[in-house]
Amino acid sequence: MYNLFEDEDDIFQGSPKSKFLDIVFNANRDLVHNELERLMTRMAAMELMLQEAHGEDKIDRVLQTMQFERADEIDMMAKNLYIISVGNVLTQNE
């Protein structure tokens, strides 16, 4: 379940999502551009895989079902992806 006050409880004063957004809005524009392009390319590949597996007209239904049935896993994966993206941008910035 989503914790509305997640940032207040975090020892680093922010959720992975809020840290990601901080980085996106404040880091070097080229580094953020590269990371967002990497994410879009991966998402496009996943969309193609879903189309091949389920047909283009059923993708939204498959996603809605998965979001309902596996909400906690999706939330955890999203947090991990935020952390990975922040790491990618920060390590390129060094």
Residue 67 lies in a domain: yes
Residue 15 lies in a domain: no
Query: Average of pLDDT values for 39-54?
Result: 96
Residue type, 20: F
SS3 content of the chain, % helix, strand, coil (to 5): 80, 0, 20
Residue 79 lies in a domain: yes
Query: Average of pLDDT values for 5-17?
Result: 65
For the segment 17-28, what is each residue's pLDDT rounded down to a tens digit? 999 999 999 999
pLDDT band at 2 (very low <50, low <70, confident <90, very high): very low
Whole domain around residue 70: which residue ranges? 28-92
Residue 40 lies in a domain: yes
What's the pLDDT score for residue 93?
Answer: 78
pTM across the whole model = 0.80
Residue 20 lies in a domain: no
Residue 21 lies in a domain: no
Residue 4 lies in a domain: no
CB 15, CB 79: distance < 8 Å: yes
Q: How many separate domains does the chain show? A: 1
Residue 12 lies in a domain: no
Separation in Å, CA 24 to CA 81, 86, 89: 14, 8, 9
